[in-house]
């Protein structure tokens, strides 16, 4: 691709010019030293990558905590996937999924909510299809729009956008009202049941049906099937992670699993559908402002300080959201971005674009010349996954090794090696010669990765933690701290007359913005589009291919119309992959936006 980065760049006046690695790293290091000397380590921040390897992300966070001396490190996960960790930690006492994708093939009932599984994680959708077609599993699919899995489902629950929390509450309410809860499991394993029931008193199933637009009969039928089957899996994805109350939605899904005893054994569990390949691994590696690797608290830093030979910062750093404000105020003067793009991945991209111009030092390390790389003072070309060695950790906690298939493109280097070289110039010595040495360090500091080596991972990988030398397909009840979460509601407002719900998400043939650089996916779709219901199109006078202007309180975009049976009346859908229609300008901090549409 013509946008592939292959040589370091330095901005001189208004132009980025190619230079050698020595020149780029030395200039970046000297410039950063001056900023730290004048303004302190907390004037520097970093944004990590959902696609970079475990080794890359581990070295990245280590660089900030040792070389720089700050916890100002975050990632795009702040706006979505960290809500999974927060919700699970509160209710399970465990920061990620306790189950395996193979549970989907061994279960009697599957409840999918807020996820187009085929588009977000095709292998998981195949397991669901196999379970329903060949093993007789019952499937219940809840989504604001139609998905491919509905062909295999026993019941579809088409809910109003943004009402996921209410729908799950309705299912829980129906189970308790009918006495279908697993009383023995709750009595032996789970605390806070009385508070859960108390928090449900003020709401009725009929009210939930009105709020969600899902008939009460469907809610009750779904509840009965989930409760009465011996095994069951709950699958959830993008619309849950991006909900305005995402943490509460995740916690409420755990409530449902605990209520019916669907935790801690084969064929049971919560299965998060995570679209980015190493989101789980990045969080495991501690690319967060408030937790060290392995989800360890900042005060539990002695082992890290002993091994790394340096005192670590004590106070939590700034989140991605707080970084933006701090840049605008002039408090953060330097930003190091590895493999992410705030202008496409974060809310309020126009604010980010203005804020980035205020930085004294902006370094972008990436595979392609992205919009944010074009603004950088220093650009470091990184190797792709196919050009290096390392590991990824997927949503079932499986650590998988990958190896280089081709040589790095021209002057590109692995991310960890670039960070290491910069760290040495800044005065903190890192001396890894191979990513396997980084994994050895990871295994020595992160309890969940204890005992993992490249040799043990083999071809299929290992689900952490190792127990008696074997991986853990599911986490046993004795290792969890189960507690119901009391419910608090923020009822989403219905859109005003004449307005539409706008939804976004991924498509089957694209992944984030990265795949838009590839020829194959672009044959199937190389430009943005907006899906409009056929009846809505007729009433507005829209034809296939007409340009549609879409505006919300946050911003505006436009895209050609695609008349579709996938979206119901009053709803439009725009995929989030394409730069000419930045959906993050329209949708901000929730999974939908109220929009006005006009033919343009």
End-to-end, the C-alpha distance of the chain in Å comes to 32
Residues 277-293 have a mean pLDDT of 97
495 alpha carbon, distance to own chain's centre: 27
The helix/strand/coil state of 371 is coil
pLDDT at 470: 86
Beta bridge partners of 44: 334
pLDDT at 525: 83
Cβ-contact 298, 291 below 8 angstroms: yes
- Do β-strands 378-381 and 9-12 pair in parallel, antiparallel, or remain unpaired? antiparallel
Residues 100-116 have a mean pLDDT of 96
Cβ-contact 215, 209 below 8 angstroms: yes
What tokens appear for 566 in the block? 């996938």
Q: Which residues contact 598 (CB under 8 A, 6 or more apart)?
A: 548, 549
φ, ψ (nearest 5 deg) of residue 337: -115, 125
Mean pLDDT estimate for the chain? 95
Measure the CA angle with vertex 46, ends 274 and 426; round to 5°.
135
Of the candidate ranges 111-115, 171-175, 587-591, the one whose mean pLDDT is the lowest: 587-591
pLDDT at 535: 96
What whole-number distance in Å separates Cα of residue 404 and Cα of residue 165?
Answer: 43
pTM of the model: 0.96
Scanning the structure block, which residue is given the tokens 């279908």?
Answer: 180
φ, ψ (nearest 5 deg) of residue 191: -105, 165
Tens of pLDDT, residues 445-496 = 999 999 999 999 999 999 999 988 888 898 989 999 999 999 887 777 888 8
Residues 54-82 have a mean pLDDT of 97
- Other residues' Cβ atoms within 10 Å of the Cβ of residue 3: 12
> Which domains, and CATH codes, for the chain?
9-80+288-407+428-436 (3.40.50.740), 91-272 (3.40.228.10), 500-599 (2.40.40.20)
Residues 343-357 have a mean pLDDT of 96
φ, ψ (nearest 5 deg) of residue 573: -130, 130
Q: What percent of the chain has pLDDT over 70?
A: 100
Closest CA to 226 of 395, 118, 107, 88: 107
Asked whether residue 58 carries a pLDDT value surpassing 90, the answer given is yes
Confidence of residue 422 (pLDDT cuts 50, 70, 90): very high
């Amino acid at each position: 691709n013509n946008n592939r980065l292959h040589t370091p760049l330095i901005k001189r006046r208004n132009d980025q010019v190619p230079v050698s690695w020595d020149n780029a790293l030395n200039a970046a290091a000297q410039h950063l030293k001056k900023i730290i000397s004048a303004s302190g380590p907390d004037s520097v921040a970093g944004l990590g990558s959902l696609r970079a390897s475990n080794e890359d992300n581990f070295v990245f966070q280590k660089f900030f905590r040792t070389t720089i001396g700050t916890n100002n490190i975050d990632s795009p996960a702040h706006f979505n996937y960290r809500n999974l960790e927060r919700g699970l930690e509160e209710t399970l006492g465990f920061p990620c999924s306790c189950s395996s994708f193979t549970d989907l093939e061994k279960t009697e009932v599957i409840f999918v909510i807020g996820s187009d599984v085929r588009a977000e994680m095709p292998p998981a959708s195949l397991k669901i299809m196999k379970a329903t077609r060949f093993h007789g599993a019952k499937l219940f699919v809840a989504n604001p729009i139609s998905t491919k899995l509905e062909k295999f489902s026993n019941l579809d629950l088409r809910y109003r956008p943004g009402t996921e929390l209410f729908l799950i509450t309705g299912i829980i309410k129906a189970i308790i009202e009918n006495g279908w809860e697993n009383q023995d499991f709750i009595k032996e394993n789970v605390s806070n049941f009385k508070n859960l029931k108390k928090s449900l008193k003020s709401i009725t199933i009929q009210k939930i049906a009105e709020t969600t637009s899902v008939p009460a009969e469907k809610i009750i039928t779904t509840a009965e099937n989930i409760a009465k089957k011996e095994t069951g899996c709950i699958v959830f994805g993008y619309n849950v992670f991006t909900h305005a109350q995402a943490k509460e939605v995740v916690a409420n899904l755990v409530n449902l699993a605990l209520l019916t005893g669907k935790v801690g054994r084969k064929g049971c569990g919560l299965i998060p559908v995570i679209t980015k390949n190493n989101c789980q691994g990045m969080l495991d590696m501690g690319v967060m402002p408030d937790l060290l690797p392995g989800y360890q608290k900042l005060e539990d830093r002695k082992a890290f300080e002993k091994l790394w030979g340096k005192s670590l910062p004590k106070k939590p750093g700034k989140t991605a959201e707080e970084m933006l404000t701090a840049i605008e105020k002039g408090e953060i003067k330097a930003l190091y971005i590895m493999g992410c793009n705030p202008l496409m991945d974060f809310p309020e991209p126009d604010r980010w674009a203005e804020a980035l111009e205020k930085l004294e030092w902006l370094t972008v390390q990436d595979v392609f010349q992205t919009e944010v790389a074009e603004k950088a003072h220093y650009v470091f070309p990184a190797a792709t996954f196919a050009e290096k060695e390392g590991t990824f950790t997927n949503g079932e906690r499986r650590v998988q090794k990958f190896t280089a298939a081709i040589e790095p493109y021209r002057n590109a280097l692995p991310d960890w090696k670039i960070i290491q070289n910069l760290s040495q110039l800044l005065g903190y010595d890192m001396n890894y010669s191979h990513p396997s040495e980084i994994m050895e360090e990871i295994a020595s500091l992160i309890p969940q990765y204890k005992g993992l080596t490249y040799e043990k991972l083999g071809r299929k990988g290992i689900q952490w933690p190792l127990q008696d030398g074997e991986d853990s397909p599911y986490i046993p009840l004795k290792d969890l701290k189960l507690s119901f979460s009391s419910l608090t509601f923020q009822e989403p407002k219905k859109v005003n007359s004449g307005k539409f719900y706008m939804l976004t998400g991924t498509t089957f043939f694209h992944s984030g913005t990265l795949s838009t650089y590839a020829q194959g996916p672009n044959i199937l779709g190389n430009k943005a589009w907006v899906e409009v219901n056929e009846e809505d199109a007729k009433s507005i006078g829209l034809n296939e291919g007409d340009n549609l202007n879409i505006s919300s309180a946050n911003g505006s975009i436009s895209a050609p119309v695609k008349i579709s049976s996938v979206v119901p009346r009053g709803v439009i859908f725009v995929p989030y992959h394409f730069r000419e229609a930045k959906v993050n300008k329209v949708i901000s901090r929730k999974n939908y936006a109220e929009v006005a549409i006009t033919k343009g």
